[in-house]
Amino acid sequence: MGNITTILVNYPPSRDVALEILSKLSEQNPKKLLLFAPYLMGVLEYVMQFPARQIRSLMNVLAILSQTEGRNPGESNHFSDEFSILLRKQLTHSDIKIRCFGVFGALATIRQLAIQKDPNEARIKELLKLAWNFVERDEDACGIFFDELSNCVSHIPLDICRNFRDTLKEKFENLWTIDQCSQSQFIQYGQRKSLNLDMTYDANKECSQDRLVVIFENKAMQMSPLVVPALLRVLAFLETKVESGELIGIDAILGCPILFPKLEYYQSSSIADFTYNQRVHLGQYLVLAINFFRESVCAFVADSDPELRVKIWLRLENILQLQKFLVSHFDYFPSLPLAYVAEKTIGSKDKDGAGPSGFNCNYYHSVGKMKEAKVVKPSTRKGKGTKKSSKKKARREVSDSESDDDEETSVLVTKKVTSKVNLDEDIQPKKILPHLRRFDSKVFQLLRCPLNCEPTDPEKRDFSRLLSDLSCVSQNPNLIKEVEKFNPDSLSLLLLELKNQASDERCKLDILSVKKLLKYVCKHINSIIEYKEELESESEAVTTTDHQKKLECCLRFLINIMASHFEAIKKLEKDGKEAEIEKSLESLARLINNSDEGAPSQLEITASVASYLGGLQVTIKDPATALDHMKLLHIIHDLRDGHATMKKAIDDVASHYLKCDWKLSSAQVDGFLKIWLSTTPSSIKVIKYLVSKLMTYETDTELDISEVEQKLPNSAVFKSCTATNFHTWYNVLVQALAQYVHKNLRRRGDFEDSIEQWAAAVDIFKELVAVTKKVQKNLILVSLLKHCRMFLDAFISGGAELLPEYWKREKELAQTFCKGLQVPCRTIQHICEHSKKNTDMQLMKSVPLVKRVLETLVFRVREVLGGQGAANAFWMGNLKHRDLHGDCINSQIIEENDIDLISSSDADSDIDEALLSGRNEQLGGSAHFDESSNDVDLLQASGDEVD
């Protein structure tokens, strides 16, 4: 226990593991852990920098121990009194952060009291009342209180829930609603912060509902409006429990209009002209309205009432519009309230790198309240080291020296207008996620509704027609189905939310728990495919519109969701993994074949899935979607342990995409090639095929040879390979070749097979190295030096062992084989000298290791040839240093009188010169090489080599 508490205090990266151990101990054997309660209480002195999740875990452990019976029968638990005193002190503490600790502890204790066999209702009621009295007017603690209470409502006794429900309903009605008929109240709230407010987003105007309006206004000594979304959430949980699943008492809230700034403010492009305070309030109203509608949808989405179902879709449209406003003007809002008080920011990490950051209980104070911001007069003193505004930083930081509301603020950096349709950036980019409350998992059941692929105007969707005559809806359910349809924007909103929550560990959303998810996803994919086929059949030259681009984005999100589903299966334990794989693939195969009869075999299921998913390549017209499609195939390939049908599907799809005339980024090229090469049955064949198409030209080409030599890559087949991304193609191919020989040829196998593979690998290596003579970009040279060492090292270990037997069987072929390896090694040596001549630090980092392996290769080959009685055929002399073009570097030309073993002007040749001289007579024959092609010798190494 001492070690665990020490870790909690002194080792932040291991803190989560220690708390998990404590949680398991408290659940399995709390009586023994009770002995060490003083140690855990001591940890509380160091929790000020703990993230919210860790404080919650620690308080939950202490709450369990406080409700544990003594070790001996009849023995009282003194720690229970001590913990109660601690909670009271924390709840009444002047430090806001410590009060939040008390809220975590109080709600954890209430939960432990409620789950006991004989719950102490009096104690629960007392503790709930205590916590509520101290947090009601504290906006930070109150937000945490509502969120934590929502998680334990199901355990609290019914009578206590009913009483507290009535209290909260009364608070909500008194503080956050006004009567539409009350003109005095409208005059009172109609103009705030120099902004005109209107009653908008009314879904009750055609219904016989109470004419209430929701307001988000601060009132002195009352609850903050920033907690209204959290209040609505806990109110819905309490109402559901008290009314046995019904929400009759609060159903008017779903359609209530809100008092909101005029929409013209957000639709205007001159929002930067507003004062600082006005922009603060515009942003806060916007975030509050979005979160209020989100919680409304979460509360009522499972209701079967036709009226409420129509209002759910209306609220989704409202959320979509408001989020577009938020994204469009996000850079102009100086401060925005966070969705959850207990989370500082989505996706951030602790200072110790141990996960999501801790909550900032002062965050409302730091980002501004729904009250007038403090006016600070500009200072007359000249500041020291005043920072210039950065163009890269879109959000402008407000300093203490900023002018008051009446003075015009400095111009903000505007967003670049782009015509590219990208729904994830237009609707819900990551930057706005910290300000949005999450949907419940039951909201994603709306995915069962169909997708309308036809272009429609969202403003013309007639919700009021159905709301005005709901009696006909009950008689004719088809009318409501006209409303319950997704458009590309609304479907993308739900898919993005599901994707973000599935990837966020704090949400605890298991994507596998969304019922029939694959069925819904496939139906939407099929709808998009059918729509695109209809467009192509109508006209041969179809113009790509913004609507079609939105559908392409939707298709990408659907593929992402399917990939996330199978990725979640991949993370399961081995026992449940196989069953879930079979279940998911079988259901997917049945959807594809539209049949529920019979039990297909595993092979038939995989073949059907591979055929269906592989066939999507015809529909996909966007590189980002294509890459996600490849990732999905890769995941299923791994789940099926590299099934042959999946390998073939990936081969066909990758080849198809890379032949498309797309402008691929380096990251996309890297993704396509690595997935293809990692799944293909024979990566060496794919590498050879790509090299032959990209780095060589057909002999019967109509282009002039002199022009061809200057034109790489050859994009005739793979149109996506351009001069801009060619270095990425080259890097992936060189790396893949080196990894292939290192993995498969490093150890000797069957001679015939091994020598055949090495011959192919050396030919490919020669072609790759030859590229550097035509394309001398630094990125290509760096890639070659980085990966050639692995290739040559593998040859030293596995390929050189084959030379003796190869020499005995086919002497001339063996000589040709050595010469084929010699030429690229010469070029590599040129590159090494080039890096030193130009003092290129990127290249020079790899030079020492590369030169070492080149030298090792020379001695290794000489050793092998010496074992065959041909030691004199391979001899060494001084090496001339040359540049990339093969010309001698002037500062390193070697004088003739310094050469002992070589007298000719071409004294730097090694194998070729030796074989052409009389020293080759011991081999029983001679070799004939083209000396004109052997004017550069880079495999030569010498002990007195000049570096």
Read off φ and ψ for residue 681, nearest 5 degrees: -65, -35
Query: What's the pLDDT tens digit per position in 487-543?
Result: 999 999 999 999 999 988 777 788 988 888 999 999 999 999 999 888 887 765 556
Pick from 36, 32, 100, 30: nearest CA to 64: 30
Q: Residue 695: name the closest of 594, 776, 599, 768 by CA.
A: 768
What's the chain's average pLDDT? 78
Picking from 333, 218, 196, 226, the residue whose alpha carbon sits closest to that of residue 277 is 333
Higher pLDDT, 646 or 881: 646
Q: How distant is the alpha carbon of residue 241 from its chain centre?
A: 37
Rounded to an integer, the average pLDDT of 378-390 is 42
Tokens 């024959």 locate to: 925
pLDDT(191) > 50: yes
For residues 656 and 467, the model is more confident at 656
- Over range 313-320, report the average pLDDT: 92
**For the residues 410-416, what does the mean pLDDT come to?**
37
Distance CA 639, CA 610 (A): 13
Mean pLDDT within 444-448: 93
| Number of helices and strands in the chain (H, E) | 39, 5
Residues 594-613, mean pLDDT to the nearest whole number: 79
How far is CA 225 from its chain centroid?
A: 33
Mean pLDDT of the 940-944 span: 36
* Stated pTM of the model: 0.81
* Domain residue ranges in the chain: 1-136, 450-460+505-662
Partners of residue 196 on adjacent β-strands: 191
Q: What per-residue confidence (pLDDT) applies to 904? A: 34
Under a CB-based contact definition with an 8 Å cutoff, are residues 134 and 90 in contact? no
Q: What would the DSSP string read from start to end of 537-583?
A: HH-SS----HHHHHHHHHHHHHHHHHHHHHHHHHTS-HHHHHHHHHH
pLDDT surpassing 80 at residue 430? yes
The string of pLDDT tens digits covering residues 548-597 is 889 999 999 999 999 999 999 988 887 778 888 888 888 888 888 765 55
Does residue 922 register a pLDDT over 80?
Answer: no
Per-residue model confidence (pLDDT) at position 897: 41
Give Cβ neighbours of residue 538 (< 8 Å, ≥ 6 apart). none
CB 430 within 8 A of CB 346: yes
Higher pLDDT, 865 or 30: 30
Strand partners, 258: 200, 214
How sure is the predictor about 602, in pLDDT bands with cuts at 50, 70 and 90?
A: confident
pLDDT of residue 411: 34
Say if CB 683 and CB 743 are below 8 A apart: no
Q: What is the pLDDT of residue 889?
A: 67
Q: How many residues does the chain have?
A: 947
Residue bearing the bigger pLDDT, 688 or 217: 688
Residue 893: the pLDDT is 43
Q: Residue 37: what pLDDT?
A: 87
CA angle, corner 720, sides to 717 and 722, nearest 5?
A: 100
| Token pair belonging to 595 | 């049949």
* 117 three-state secondary structure: coil
The pLDDT value recorded for residue 272 is: 84
The pLDDT value given to residue 627: 95
* Cα gap 841→865, rounded to integer Å: 37
- pLDDT tens column, 688-707: 999 999 987 654 444 444 44
**pLDDT value of residue 701:** 44
* pLDDT confidence band for 905 (50 / 70 / 90): very low
State residue 565's pLDDT score: 92
pLDDT-derived band at 726 (thresholds 50, 70, 90) equals very high
What is d(CA 179, CA 186) in angstroms, rounded to the nearest whole number?
A: 9
CA distances to 371, 570, 612, 913, 939 from 861, rounded to whole Å, are 82, 47, 52, 16, 11
pLDDT tens-place string over residues 31-80: 888 888 888 888 888 888 888 888 999 999 999 999 888 766 666 778 88
Q: What share of the chain is helix, strand, coil (3-state, %, to 5)?
A: 65, 0, 35
Average of pLDDT values for 129-157?
89
